[in-house]
């Protein structure tokens, strides 16, 4: 039911959206990196101690954000191109931005466009143009990036719930799973980028904070995934899909790639991230999380093949079983 391009859009769009959220938060905490020439809009304002403490913990080098935004833009553009290619005609996607109707799809299309534009903005200002911008403009753009990224991440999951023909997608757990996975992928992009940053400015505190946040996200994703599979098994119409994930055709993708490599492995690696070779661990964490994010989307979209609404054979079997009972 879903083409490879559609699954690729869900992955690249979600990973790019999560990166937009994480980098937007880091931009807010590192707003001073644009220098004093940007103005003193916040210079004379007294900030609460928790805010100052959080800003200090999330301080990262300029190179991390600069390279991170470039990678975020590449992910979002790749996802958009996959969406356009899957639609077959570019005007179908463009019509969503021009449509006067307020629908979930138009909101998602605008959120994706806004995330891409803001990622391009920060990629540009990170290369020297930011020194000529007022501080409040950069701060407003960073906050907008967080909002647009969250909206895009949620939309990649809501897009599946808009397909009423697939019963397995008709639950709030699908958008929740996709949103959590996107945020974790965003942290993974930060870890991967940090592995290529050489800086004299210590930023271990920020990486430690990100690892704690990502571990919390992974735990929440595990819980949501368990609830989602349980909901599949408790409904006769989706039971075949749940069994396929646990012990059927999708079991290897589910248990080995998604659960073990995509969730358990990065959780363990992040516990002792700062000990040993931080660069190598950061790359492994990024690889495992992104691999798990792709596997999640493959597993969820693959449920359509086992859904009773999409399989006449399953419908006939249930009908015969009901008649025999």
- Residue 66 CA to its chain's centroid (Å): 19
Compute the distance between CA of residue 225 and CA of residue 293 in angstroms, rounded to an integer.
12
| pLDDT string in tens for the chain (325-residue length) | 688 999 999 999 999 999 999 999 999 988 877 754 444 445 445 555 555 556 667 888 889 999 999 999 999 999 999 988 887 777 777 777 676 677 778 888 889 999 999 999 999 988 766 667 788 888 999 999 999 999 999 999 998 998 888 899 999 999 999 999 999 999 999 999 999 988 766 788 898 999 999 999 999 999 999 999 999 999 988 999 999 999 988 999 999 999 999 999 999 999 887 666 778 889 999 999 999 999 999 999 999 888 776 655 554 454 444 444 4
The first and second tokens of residue 133, run together, are: 């911008």
The first and second tokens of residue 120, run together, are: 């391009």
Q: What's the confidence (pLDDT) of residue 276?
A: 65
Q: What's the confidence (pLDDT) of residue 320?
A: 41
User: Do the beta carbons of residue 19 and residue 71 sit within 8 Å?
Assistant: yes
Q: What's the confidence (pLDDT) of residue 38?
A: 40
Q: What's the confidence (pLDDT) of residue 45?
A: 52
Q: What's the confidence (pLDDT) of residue 265?
A: 96
Looking at the whole model, is its pTM more than 0.85? yes
Q: What's the confidence (pLDDT) of residue 106?
A: 84
Compute the distance between CA of residue 269 and CA of residue 271 in angstroms, rounded to an integer.
6
Buried b (16+ CB within 10 A) or exposed e, 281-314: bbbbbbbbbbbbbbbbbbbbbbbbbbbbbbeeeb
Q: Which of 75, 76, 74, 69 is nearest to 126 (CA)?
A: 69
Q: What's the confidence (pLDDT) of residue 95?
A: 74
Q: What's the confidence (pLDDT) of residue 171?
A: 94
**CB 243: neighbour CB atoms within 10 A?**
17
User: Do the beta carbons of residue 289 and residue 184 sit within 8 Å?
Assistant: yes
Q: What's the confidence (pLDDT) of residue 216?
A: 97
């Amino acid at each position: 039911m879903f083409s490879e391009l559609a699954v690729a859009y869900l992955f690249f769009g979600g990973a790019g959206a999560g990166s937009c959220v994480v980098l937007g938060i880091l931009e807010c905490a590192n707003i001073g990196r644009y220098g004093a020439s940007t103005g003193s809009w916040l210079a004379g304002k007294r900030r609460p101690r928790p805010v100052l403490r959080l800003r200090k913990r999330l301080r990262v080098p300029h190179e991390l954000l600069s390279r991170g935004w470039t990678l975020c833009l590449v992910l979002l553009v790749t996802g958009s191109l996959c969406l356009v290619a899957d639609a077959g005609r570019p005007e179908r996607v463009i019509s969503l931005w021009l449509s006067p109707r307020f629908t979930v799809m138009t909101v998602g299309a605008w959120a994706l466009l806004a995330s891409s534009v803001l990622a391009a903005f920060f990629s540009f200002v990170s290369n020297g143009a930011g020194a000529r911008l007022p501080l409040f403009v950069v701060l407003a753009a960073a906050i907008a990036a967080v909002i647009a990224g969250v909206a895009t991440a949620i939309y990649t999951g809501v897009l599946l719930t808009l397909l009423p023909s697939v019963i397995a997608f008709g639950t709030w757990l699908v958008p929740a799973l996709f949103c959590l996975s996107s945020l974790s992928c965003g942290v993974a992009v930060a870890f991967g980028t940090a592995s290529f940053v050489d800086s004299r400015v210590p930023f271990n505190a920020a990486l430690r904070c990100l690892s704690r946040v990502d571990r919390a996200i992974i735990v929440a994703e595990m819980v949501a995934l368990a609830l989602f599979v349980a909901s599949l098994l408790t409904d006769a119409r989706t039971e075949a899909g749940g069994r396929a994930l646990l012990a059927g055709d999708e079991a290897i993708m589910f248990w080995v790639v998604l659960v073990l490599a995509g969730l358990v492995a990065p959780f363990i690696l992040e516990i002792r991230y700062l000990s040993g070779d931080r660069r190598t661990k950061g790359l492994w964490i990024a690889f495992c999380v992104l691999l798990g994010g792709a596997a999640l989307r493959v597993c969820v979209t693959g449920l359509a093949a086992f859904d009773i609404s999409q399989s006449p054979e399953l419908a006939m079997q249930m009908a015969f079983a009901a008649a025999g009972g």
